[in-house]
Amino acid sequence: MSMERIPVLCIGAIGQSGSTLLARMLGQVPGLVAVGETGRVWDKGLVEDMACGCGEPFRACPFWTAVGEEAFGGWDRVDTAEATRLRDGLTLRGRAPHALALPLILRPSLSRRYGADLRRYQALMGRLYVGIHRASGGRVIVDSMKQPAHVYMVSRMPEVDLRVVHLVRDSRGVAYSKTKWVHRQGARSDEFRVRRPPPKSGEKWIWMNLSFDALAGLGVPTSRLRYEELVRSPKGALLRVLSELGIERRVDDLGFIGEGWVELPTDHLAAGSRMRLEAGRLPLREDDAWRHRLSPTHRRVVTALTWPLLVRYGYRGSP
Ligand SMILES: [Zn+2]
């Protein structure tokens, strides 16, 4: 058996931070491949047959068909209900707060049941990564399944050589985005994503960012990137982050980025925001609608809740 570890670059972030955009940009860097939110392959991909970034239904996409062959000898061999159950169990969905999963991942002996399911899911994800590794010709896998439990789980897979980009966006921007009505991923046209009150977004923003901050102390190579830096000075931001993660690239490798735009070909993100379906020359500008549209009350509350970390990350914490 080969001892060569599979290179994976996970994006760690709260939702509405620009992770799909970052994943697609990283996927254009030579030697890297962006595949979207891997943990949603089991239900959004295999069951709902949601559109891949290339526009094809998941099961008709040639890239993902190749991944399924390499990983499992065909997707029909995957028990999708079991895989989805394991994925949801990882975050304790419906049972306990997501944050409680992290100590269980680090010390699976704390719960025999959780530990057993964790090992099963790691084995499944390990096969999926092997499939992507082979189907992509051995490139670094950019995984935008950004949840803390997922990233922590991958950090405990010995067959994976993990690096993490901790993507941060201003807490007030995240809070505003979660108040908007947005159609759910792959859902029927009358279904909307769950909205979240700004104070709840503030709380979630704090614990999730702290959990990604803690990864470096656990021995995981980590680089922090602000969404606002990515859209304002994309070339410098990407080169810095990659270099901090031991992936040296040159500015010539970033020819797909221009002044205020990014040129993205069709790629194969299995899940993620709707922007995964857009291709061509796309405007690269900061989404800062929250500055005008987040109510003064909510703005004060979210700022008050999150200011210590806002300051730590280089944002202006004053309301
Ligand atoms: Zn595709």
Tell me, in angstroms, the distance from the centre of ligand 1 to residue 79's CA: 21
Nearest to 45 by CA among 71, 72, 92, 84: 84
CA 63 to CA 52: how far, in whole Å?
A: 10
**What integer pLDDT is reported at residue 317 of this predicted model?**
59
Tell me, in angstroms, the distance from the centre of ligand 1 to residue 83's CA: 21
Q: What angle do CA 191, 197, 201 make, to 5 degrees?
A: 100
Q: Is 309 exposed, middle or buried (0-12, 13-18, 19+ CB in 10 A)?
A: middle
Tell me, in angstroms, the distance from the centre of ligand 1 to residue 147's CA: 23
Tell me, in angstroms, the distance from the centre of ligand 1 to residue 279's CA: 13
pLDDT tier for residue 223 given thresholds of 50, 70 and 90: very high
The DSSP output letter for 188 is: -
Tell me, in angstroms, the distance from the centre of ligand 1 to residue 266's CA: 8
Tell me, in angstroms, the distance from the centre of ligand 1 to residue 175's CA: 31
Residue at 157: amino acid letter: M
Tell me, in angstroms, the distance from the centre of ligand 1 to residue 174's CA: 28
- Decide if pLDDT at 290 tops 90: yes
- Decide if pLDDT at 185 tops 90: no
CA 80 to CA 44: how far, in whole Å?
A: 10
Tell me, in angstroms, the distance from the centre of ligand 1 to residue 226's CA: 28
Residue boundaries of the structural domains of the chain: 6-288
pLDDT tier for residue 22 given thresholds of 50, 70 and 90: very high
Paired sense of beta strands 280-283 and 261-264, if any: antiparallel
Tell me, in angstroms, the distance from the centre of ligand 1 to residue 88's CA: 24
Name, in order, each residue with C-beta under 8 angstroms of 41's C-beta and a sequence gap of 6 or more.
58, 64, 128, 270, 271
Tell me, in angstroms, the distance from the centre of ligand 1 to residue 254's CA: 23
Tell me, in angstroms, the distance from the centre of ligand 1 to residue 141's CA: 15
CA 142 to CA 26: how far, in whole Å?
A: 7
Tell me, in angstroms, the distance from the centre of ligand 1 to residue 61's CA: 4
Fold of the 6-288 domain: Rossmann fold (3.40.50)
Tell me, in angstroms, the distance from the centre of ligand 1 to residue 268's CA: 4
**Cβ-contact 50, 186 below 8 angstroms:** yes
Average pLDDT over residues 206-223: 97
Tell me, in angstroms, the distance from the centre of ligand 1 to residue 33's CA: 12
Reduced to 3 states, what is the DSSP secondary structure of residue 258? strand
**What integer pLDDT is reported at residue 180 of this predicted model?**
81
Nearest to 62 by CA among 13, 70, 88, 192: 70
pTM: 0.95
**What integer pLDDT is reported at residue 190 of this predicted model?**
65
Average pLDDT over residues 176-185: 79
Tell me, in angstroms, the distance from the centre of ligand 1 to residue 51's CA: 8
Name, in order, each residue with C-beta under 8 angstroms of 8's C-beta and a sequence gap of 6 or more.
129, 140, 141, 143, 154, 160, 161, 162, 163
Tell me, in angstroms, the distance from the centre of ligand 1 to residue 285's CA: 26
Tell me, in angstroms, the distance from the centre of ligand 1 to residue 121's CA: 24
Average pLDDT over residues 181-193: 66
Tell me, in angstroms, the distance from the centre of ligand 1 to residue 20's CA: 15
The Cβ of residue 180 has, within 10 Å, a number of other Cβ atoms equal to 12
CA 144 to CA 140: how far, in whole Å?
A: 13
**Cβ-contact 268, 53 below 8 angstroms:** yes
The DSSP output letter for 17 is: S
- 32-55 tens-digit pLDDT: 999 999 999 999 999 999 999 999
**pLDDT mean across residues, the chain:** 94
Average pLDDT over residues 240-261: 97
Q: What angle do CA 295, 301, 305 make, to 5 degrees?
A: 145
| Residues 299, 276, 265, 25, CA torsion sign | positive
